[in-house]
Amino acid sequence: MNNSSPTAPLNYLNHKTGLWSWLSSTDHKRIGLLYLYSITIFFCSAAVLGLLMKIEKIAPGETIMNAQTYNAMFTLHGIIMIFIVVIPGLAAVFGNFFLPILIGAKDVAFPKLNLFSWYIYITGACLGLYSQFAHGHSPDAGWTFYVPYSAEVNSNIVIALTAAFVLGFASILTGLNFIVTIHRMRAPGMTWFRMPLFPWSLYATAWIQLLATPIIGITLLMVIAERTLQIGFFDPALGGDPVLYQHLFWIYSHPAVYVMILPAMGVVSEIFPTFSQKPIFGYMPIVFSSLAIALVGYFVWGHHMFTSGMSYQARWFFSLLTFVVAIPSAIKVFNWLSTMYGGSVDLKPPLLYAISFIFLFTIGGFTGLTLGSLGTNIQTHNTDFVVAHFHYIIFGGMGFGFFAGIHYWYPKIYGRMYNIRWANIAWGILFTGFNVLYFPMFIIGLQGMPRRYFDYDPQFQTGQMISSIGAFILIIGLIGMISNLVYHRSRGAIAPANPWHGVTLEWQIPSPPPHENFDEVPTITHDPYVFEHPYTKSK
């Protein structure tokens, strides 16, 4: 029986039907799915842009597009991926769907604001698309919009900046909603330290969303002011400082990467205990390292600007803090691995993605240290080394964390199971393609291949070609993964309430969840990761 037949139990999917019931729903679960579908569409579009860029770079010289088009491509690819997919991503989809359930609540603190946030998000996303097709040239200043180019170039920059501003608003309001939800809506007995780790990661993330995003908001307004009103804080001809733009931009955009990664770390922190059938190792260190990452992440932004002309003291300070902020992340990696050690490890797709998350995130993290050292930064800044680094961290980290989450929570969300073998095969192709695509970029980057260039010297040809082939493999893997999930949405085997034998609250309610999550609000009496019969080696 499918979930919307007359005899299916009442759940959030069949509670009310019809398109308008979805577009007007303040149910956090439905809003989470609204985000899931919009983000998936935008992700696929931006992935296609990435593929086109890689096709262009498969050989030197102009292959399928000229330099101007290439610049517009990487600009749009970056804007969509960063502002529309990765920053909102995990929090908007799984945070919305599961935060209330994981803390024993019926919904978030402000459900109507939650729906309103989605509409703001869609408005911003559409504005971003509109900047491509509006009268004038597509924006080509990169998603970073550095001045003076962004202040002077004749392309649809103002529309793109406005889009980013609007998207930032959605991010702020979601963060606000989550902070209040976590403070005020926890079920009776759920003290802070009985809260599972995914909500903790969302809490840390929400504070960054709340406090960092306004800074980029005002910075984008300043660039708009420079373009339209000749107010020129960044224009040297008027006495301004272009490096000041970089400071303000990265004061937000660096903490933003922690918005991207913290929820992913939270997701895998849920997956490891479940698929090891034992409690998470080091609950407290993971909690405090999440908070530490959120806080210290505010103090490292200058590592994007080492070659911009900052004082020596600033460069020294930012490099030191960059090394410091790596420590809490490393602590988490030790905790995750230790969770698996001695456990009853079940290598299902969620765990496959979680383990590969650690692998890819670690490579990204180590190469971040190379970039964070002043000396080596001079060699690697603005090369493909940087591009490889952030794709390992963001795509390998947040991306694979997202894939882990969707494979973990799919049976709960839809009450159906996907095909495990299909998922594993797709994972293998995806993982292979990912490394073939991005690892060569470390090498050619070290050899001097600049980023954001549509052409290159013949010496980089081999590396570029291997990388471009990797892009195709990656796309095939993505298609395989997504098609598995889409196909089984209505055709998969009916999933039980707790297919993975998890112990957190979402597995104690039916799949799919009822409209108000819990028939009775639960009372919490124990820590979040207590397994009745945890697997321990000595027995």
Partner 1 sequence: MKNHDTHITSYSQNLTVLLILLILTTISVLAVEFHFGAFTVAIALIIASVKSAIVLTYFMHLKFESLLLRLMVGGVFLLFAIVVVITFIDYYFR
Partner 2 sequence: MSTTEHSEYIDSDTGKMGMWLFLFTELFLFGGLFIVYAVMRSKYSEGFHQGALELNAFIGATNTVVLLVSSMTVAMSLTAIQKNRPNIAAILIFITLILAGVFLMNKYFEWGHKFSLHLYPGSDVMKNLPHGEIMFFGLYFMMTGLHALHVIIGGIVLTIVMLRLKSGKINQDHYLLQENGALYWHLVDLIWIFLFPLLYLIT
Residue ranges in contact with partner 1 by CB under 8 A:
183, 211, 243, 247, 251, 298-299, 302, 309-314, 317
Query: CB 311 → partner 1: shortest distance, Å?
Result: 4
Residue with Cβ nearer partner 2 (229 or 284): 229
The reply to whether 183 sits near partner 2 by the rule CB under 8 A is yes
The reply to whether 184 sits near partner 2 by the rule CB under 8 A is yes
Query: CB 40 → partner 1: shortest distance, Å?
Result: 35
Q: Which contiguous run of DSSP H or E holds residue 409?
A: helix 400-414
Q: Which residues face 494 on adjacent strands?
A: 416
Q: What is the DSSP string of 249-296?
A: HHHHHHHHHHHHHHHHHHHHHHHHHHHHTSPPTTHHHHHHHHHHHHHH
Q: Which does 333 bind (CB under 5 to 8 A by kind): partner 2, partner 1, none?
A: none
Q: Which does 299 bind (CB under 5 to 8 A by kind): partner 1, partner 2, none?
A: partner 1
- Span 84-143, contacts to partner 2 by CB under 8 A: 106-107, 109-110, 113
Total chain residues near partner 2 (CB under 8 A): 42
Residue with Cβ nearer partner 2 (250 or 438): 250
Q: Shortest CA distance to 112 belongs to which of 182, 179, 28, 185?
A: 28
The reply to whether 222 sits near partner 2 by the rule CB under 8 A is yes
Query: CB 317 → partner 1: shortest distance, Å?
Result: 5
Rounded to an integer, what distance in angstroms lies between the CA atom of residue 7 and that of residue 278? 37
Rounded to an integer, what distance in angstroms lies between the CA atom of residue 507 and that of residue 497? 6
Q: Where are the alpha helices (DSSP H) in 143-196?
A: 149-152, 157-184
The reply to whether 521 sits near partner 2 by the rule CB under 8 A is yes
How remote is the C-alpha of 260 from its chain's centroid?
4
Q: Which does 256 bind (CB under 5 to 8 A by kind): partner 2, partner 1, none?
A: none
Residue with Cβ nearer partner 2 (79 or 172): 172
Asked if 415 contacts 494 with a C-beta cutoff of 8 angstroms, the reply is yes
Q: Which does 310 bind (CB under 5 to 8 A by kind): partner 2, partner 1, none?
A: partner 1
Q: Identify the sign of the CA torsion 53, 55, 58, 63.
A: negative
The reply to whether 59 sits near partner 2 by the rule CB under 8 A is no
Query: CB 211 → partner 2: shortest distance, Å?
Result: 5
Max CA-CA distance within the chain? 75
Q: Which two tokens stand for residue 537?
A: 């080696």
Which residue, chain included where needed, has tokens 């980089």? Answer: 460
Query: CB 291 → partner 1: shortest distance, Å?
Result: 12
Residue with Cβ nearer partner 2 (308 or 338): 308
How remote is the C-alpha of 290 from its chain's centroid?
15
H helices, E strands: number in the chain:
18, 2
Residue with Cβ nearer partner 2 (157 or 352): 157
Rounded to an integer, what distance in angstroms lies between the CA atom of residue 180 and that of residue 213? 18
The reply to whether 176 sits near partner 2 by the rule CB under 8 A is yes
Q: At what angle do helices 157-184 and 67-79 cross, to 10 degrees?
A: 20
Q: Which contiguous run of DSSP H or E holds residue 122?
A: helix 111-133
N-to-C CA span, the chain? 42
Per-position x/- string for 230-259, each x denoting binding to partner 2 as judged by CB under 8 A, each - no binding: xxxx----xxxx--x--xx-----------
Asked if 329 contacts 257 with a C-beta cutoff of 8 angstroms, the reply is no
Q: How many residues does the chain have?
A: 539
Residue with Cβ nearer partner 1 (154 or 313): 313
The reply to whether 219 sits near partner 2 by the rule CB under 8 A is yes
Query: CB 244 → partner 2: shortest distance, Å?
Result: 6
Q: Which does 311 bind (CB under 5 to 8 A by kind): partner 2, partner 1, none?
A: partner 1
Residue with Cβ nearer partner 2 (232 or 343): 232
Residue with Cβ nearer partner 1 (207 or 392): 207
Q: What is the DSSP string of 181-213?
A: HHHH-PPTT--GGGS-HHHHHHHHHHHHHHHHH
Specify the stretch interacting with partner 2 by CB under 8 A; choose among 173-181, 273-281, 465-473, 499-507.
173-181
Residue with Cβ nearer partner 1 (296 or 481): 296
How remote is the C-alpha of 409 from its chain's centroid?
17
Query: CB 344 → partner 1: shortest distance, Å?
Result: 41
Q: Shortest CA distance to 107 belongs to which of 185, 9, 196?
A: 185
Q: Which does 160 bind (CB under 5 to 8 A by kind): partner 2, partner 1, none?
A: none
Q: By the criterion CB under 8 A, which residues form the site for partner 2?
A: 106-107, 109-110, 113, 172, 176-177, 179-180, 183-185, 188, 210-215, 217-219, 221-222, 225, 229-233, 238-241, 244, 247-248, 516, 520-521, 523
